[in-house]
Structure 1
């Protein structure tokens, strides 16, 4: 009898885990020939799988990364797996505002098109600071992409219809922004949650200010993926999380599907400013849809990055 209970419990656990990891694939077969895609952090994880998927559809894919050596290795893999030679990398450090400005200047000089911008790179919950004195999560995850997108926005408008996809996360729901302390950097989980909420507000306000100008904006929760974010933590934590991720998290290829969907889907284009999960529009908590807060964050962000 004990053996029977053990077998039943194991079977139930297996089915539960399988259900938790079940995600939708993007079934839209649209090609992206002639389109240019820029992906931040495209050298690993979800960003790299997104790059492979879009390069395979014919897009010119540029991955923007801080580590040149890792970027070169990733480009070789992306080319091999996508059977495309139209893949390259450019150096970008989202933790440094000067690097972002230099990158945008070089990009605009070298590239005549920008059809899809994917704000993918992110820092996990680390108690560290950017070169400009911002908390690493808020500085990279929000402010870095905020400045990057604004500096590239004229080119996105020129190439309309174009899209901006910003990777957020469902854990936004556990925090609200404190405008007296946007640079909050005390409890790691809450710091990361706030940065992801900022991503959602940013995506909504971007959709508002570009309405009727041919640029659409989407926030995406890709799911919890088996990516390399644990590299910022101790060896013991990495070992523990590797086991947890194997059981509960999805592969980066699967996690990239909603990003790909928002990059190509005509249906997604009807919902600029929307939040997408599992290749479909999803609901947000009421506080995360506050247009007044989104505008206030945008204006505060302009001041923080000195965007005139």
Structure 2
């Protein structure tokens, strides 16, 4: 047992220190010395690569899609709405970039360099829709180089198609189902290991003790939406650790094993405080956006900046990525500190529990 776990005073101060570090690395724009040290100009040519992005129609997912499309990748955008997907694809082809108010500004892309964009209908709040999306992906491509588990909902009540709390069902159950289906495409032979980049959040540290209130998920009762959001992001980190434990590299003291066939690098990422539709649907945010635009610019980063952490995690050199696998990246492009119940053996155990629970829920609805 660790000293912090055995000594409640040490545990308290360790928790406070984690809170301080988390705020420091949240990605607040008024902390000028915490800034990305890697940008899109550092991104290599992407021709020949297959990229799958959930929620690629808006926010950080859209910015990620633009980065890969403009460098020649084949980009598959998973989105529930055909109308929103068509609008996003049209904007992507025009080089649209969202500002801090989520307004689109256009800069022409290099037509000789661009890749392709495809819409895959997918409602992450419906496990059967996820099944169908995975089937469509398998029909179209013979491998996936990077899966961005990017989509999510925040601060919303409601239920999924199968009756689970909307945030947890969308952010966790839907993504786990998609990951499970796409494992064969992620493990096909290739020169470089595939990667799964999962969008987590610094708010995972606010999850309940143990990370997830499983009884609450099954109760059918109304839940605290902010606690549930934190819970879902804790679970996303746990899922990333599961994939790493089963398919990732073995590293110790900075030395990693020789890549095995079918290896997958799995990294969870905090994007920063980003101005996206995830945030801007909140009434307070709408009022702030029109009343105190200057304040938003001090606090929130654009979707383009918010996408840099996950793109970096997907593109950083293999030796660094393999060391990061199973870990958590915070702002900016730096290995972060997850909550203690997600560290080391505790994190591996958490991943096993979350993955098994998700599999059991899927089996109930086949």
TM-score (norm 1): 0.88
Q: In the TM superposition, what are the counterparts of 1:16-165 in structure 2 within 5 Å? A: 18-19=30-31, 23-27=35-39, 28-81=42-95, 82-83=109-110, 84-160=114-190, 161-165=193-197
Q: What is the distance in 1 between the residues matched to 2:322 and 2:230?
A: 26
8 A Cα contact 1:54 1:260, kept in partner: no
1:188 paired with 2:237, answer: no
- The residue matched to 1:180 in structure 2 has which SS? helix
Partner of 2:205: 173
- The residue matched to 1:63 in structure 2 has which SS? strand
8 A Cα contact 1:225 1:245, kept in partner: no
1:200 paired with 2:237, answer: yes
Q: What is the distance in 1 between the residues matched to 2:242 and 2:218?
A: 20
1:273 paired with 2:285, answer: no
Partner of 2:270: 221
8 A Cα contact 1:261 1:268, kept in partner: no
8 A Cα contact 1:79 1:85, kept in partner: no
Q: What is the distance in 2 between the residues matched to 1:40 and 1:301?
A: 18
Q: What is the distance in 1 between the residues matched to 2:125 and 2:83?
A: 18
- The residue matched to 1:219 in structure 2 has which SS? strand
Q: What is the distance in 2 between the residues matched to 1:178 and 1:93?
A: 24
* Distance change >3 Å, CA 19–CA 232, structure 1 → 2: closer
Partner of 1:12: none
Q: Deviations over 1:47-97 (max 9, x none)?
A: 000111122222111111011111111112212224425112111111111
Give how far 1:18 is off.
Answer: 3.1
Higher mean C-alpha deviation, range 49-58 or range 76-85: 76-85
Unaligned 5+ segments in structure 1 are: 1-15
Higher mean C-alpha deviation, range 83-92 or range 151-160: 83-92
- The residue matched to 1:250 in structure 2 has which SS? coil
Q: What is the distance in 1 between the residues matched to 2:239 and 2:53?
A: 17
Residues matched between the structures, number: 292
TM-score (norm 2): 0.75
Q: Deviations over 1:99-131 (max 9, x none)?
A: 111111111011222110000000112111001
